[in-house]
Structure formats: C-alpha cells, structure tokens
Amino acid sequence: MPPKKVVKEEPVLLGRPGNNLNAGIVGLANVGKSTLFQAITKCSLGNPANFPYATINPEESRVLVPDERFDWLCQQYKPKSQVPAHLTVYDIAGLTRGASTGAGLGNSFLSHIRAVDAIFQVVRCFDDAEIIHVEGDVDPIRDLEIINEELRIKDLEFAEKSLENYKKQTRRGGQSLEMKKLKEEEATVEKVIEHLKSGKDVRKNHWSPKEVEVINPLFLLTAKPVVYLVNLSERDYIRQKNKHLPKIAEWVKEHATGDTILPMSVALEERLTRFESDEAAAEECKNLGTKSALPKIITTMRKALNLGSFFTTGSDEVRQWTIRNGTKAPSAAGVIHGDFEKTFIQCIVYNYATLKELGDEATVKAQGKIMTKGKDYVVEDGDIVLFKAGAAKG
C-alpha cells in the first residue's frame, strides 16, 4: 500500500479573516496621534489639540499605498484609469491610565480598538513645554507599560467573561461530540487567561489552528499586530538619535519580540504637508538630508497585516488589488467580483518581476513565462493575473 498522504495543516491567522483590513492609531493623550493621522491621510479630519480627549469618536480615512510596481505598470500601460491599493486608518481617542476600568474615555476607547485589525502604537519621545503630557513628563517606557497593561487587563476581562459562558454550558456534562468540542474550547480560553496573567500578549504565542478559531471571535486587543511609531522631534529624527530609542528597542525586544519600531517625526510630517506639491516637500527633505517616514509606515503595516497585492493590467485600467498572503486563485478572483469566485475556471498569470526584467508582455509570452493555473494556485505578491470564470447562475 502506498504511504498515506500527509495532510498539511493550513495556518489560521489571528484576527478577522478577509482582505479589507484596517489599522488604528493608538497611544496616550497628546503624543501626536491626530496630527499624524492628518499627515498620513492628507486630510483635515482628526482633532489635534493641546489637551486630553480632543478626539472622542474615531475618524476614518483611506491612505494610498505607495508601491513602485504600480507606478511602473502605469507608466508601461498608460491606462485611462489608475486604481492603487489603499489602507483604511482610524484616529482613536487617547488612552489614559485606568482605561480598562473606565477612566477617561476608557471603555469607549477600548471598544474602538476592538473594531480595528491592527495597531499603530504612537509613543512620544520629545520634550515640549507647550504640549502637556497626561503623566506629567516624557517617559516612553512608562507610557508603553501603561498601554500594554490596560489592553491586557481588558483582554482578561473579555476572556474571563467568555470562560464563564463556557462553564455554564459544560456543567451539564455528557459525552456528546458537541460537549467534547465545548470542553476543548473552554480549555483554550483558560490557556489564554493563563498567558495574559503571565504578562504576555496573545499574539506572542504559538496557537494551533483550532485554538485560533476559538480566540478570533473574542476580538482580543493584544492579539492584534502592532507597529510601534516613535515620535521624535524634527532634529532628533533627522540625526536619527534620541536618548530614549535604545530603551524602547530593549523594551520591545523583551515584551514584543519581532514587532517593528519605526522612528518618525510628526512635527516634520505635518510641516511637509504644508508645501504646495509633493515635489516641493521632497526638495525640502533633500535639503535636510532626510525623507518622510510615512511611506514606510504604510507598507510596514500592510506587511504586519500579512497583506499582499496582485495586479490587473491593460490600456483601460491598471489596478492593484489587496489580498491576504496565501490566498488561492478563486478567492483572489472573488476580490474583484463575488461571482468570479463561484464560477472560477482558471487564471493566466505571470509576476511583475518577470515583466520588468523582460520589458514587455509580448517578450514574457514569447519566453513561455505566462502560466495557466487552476483553483489550487496560491496567488503571489506581485502577480499580474487574468481570471477566467463561467457565467453566473441567475
């Protein structure tokens, strides 16, 4: 008998499934969140002000994703319509110590974080007598500890409430398959509680696919990917030096290994938005010997959310579509139109890197680099795809 085929267990990601994911800007009051939101979204939403809780309800805006591949494809095809990818960003009210017990805008703030898929955590590393700090002085490690603790305490509350519900159901006892499943799920929630009580975030653990399926409906705050944005003065950002940076790096290494830290200057980014054109802003950066951190901030968050892109191209339109990495062809087709997923037949595909290397589509075809793939094909970041689908049933 031939050996049994090993079934590869597909990884299940923490967080909400899907491609239309978003990020929230989070931090203590008066660390530069709303000003960053205005700079990154190039809009006047948000409410930067020198007092706590200037932002109450979260503002939302879509940010264009900078991508050289999209720009190159547009130059190549000169289409009538150009549609880049975007990322939705929310400006969320400032946190304060005790938020998990309702202090400040605590409960409202934490419910807004629950609604986003990932967190830009802004931490302030500059002194300015004009801008008050809710804790009295600038101490980024203390601020990181406050946010971390508040999110974890709230997660414990969510998890313990869930455990209570499981216990009510498993008390009935019995040996049915449903009861067995309930007890396994209850054990997972208990494991989450122990993990949180040990001072660790939910995302910092290896969870099995079954466990992830139990954790995701809880919408835990510490399960969300985090990108740390270190808000420096313009001077410190340009020289890439600040007394707090090594301490922050050490803290993240100890408490959030693998998370990205990006130094930036909200003051500089806000000033660059005042220039009349992108070219004028770029010239100012060149004169200062620096560059805007915003493009890297956006692309880093997409990476943290495990998002990639495929492209559809032609003289009518070049469009960049957002998918989760690991998405199979029918699901990717469904991003364009729901019916395409149901009636998927095949896809014709080649990668952007191949096109750029060979120069044009005709050469790619002549060299046999265009592939025809079926429903098991996993669309790769940078693929250029033409989907073929049948007629949708009425």
Q: What is the residue-wise DSSP string for 164-226?
A: HHHHHHHTT----HHHHHHHHHHHHHHHHHHHHHTT--TTSS---HHHHHHHGGG--GGGS-E
CA-to-CA distance for 379 and 221, rounded, in angstroms? 30
Name 73's Cβ contacts closer than 8 Å, sequence gap at least 6: 311, 313, 318, 352, 384
Name 123's Cβ contacts closer than 8 Å, sequence gap at least 6: 27, 31, 140, 143, 144, 228, 229, 230, 231, 248
Name 149's Cβ contacts closer than 8 Å, sequence gap at least 6: 100
CA-to-CA distance for 72 and 81, rounded, in angstroms? 14
Is 241 annotated as ligand-binding? no
Of 4, 33, 15, 93, nearest in space to 57 by CA = 93
**Helix ranges (DSSP H) in 31-175:** 33-41, 68-77, 106-114, 140-170
CA-to-CA distance for 112 and 106, rounded, in angstroms? 10
Q: What is the residue-wise DSSP string for 98-124?
A: TGGGT-TTHHHHHHHHHTSSEEEEEEE
285, with CB counted inside 10 A (0-12, 13-18, 19+), is: middle
Is 33 annotated as ligand-binding? yes
Name 357's Cβ contacts closer than 8 Å, sequence gap at least 6: none
Please, what sign has the CA dihedral across residues 150, 153, 154, 155? positive
Is 111 annotated as ligand-binding? no
Is 232 annotated as ligand-binding? yes
Is 170 annotated as ligand-binding? no
Please, what sign has the CA dihedral across residues 348, 87, 245, 258? negative
Q: 92 near 25, Cβ under 8 Å?
A: yes
Binding annotation for ATP: 30-35, 232
Binding annotation: 30-35, 232
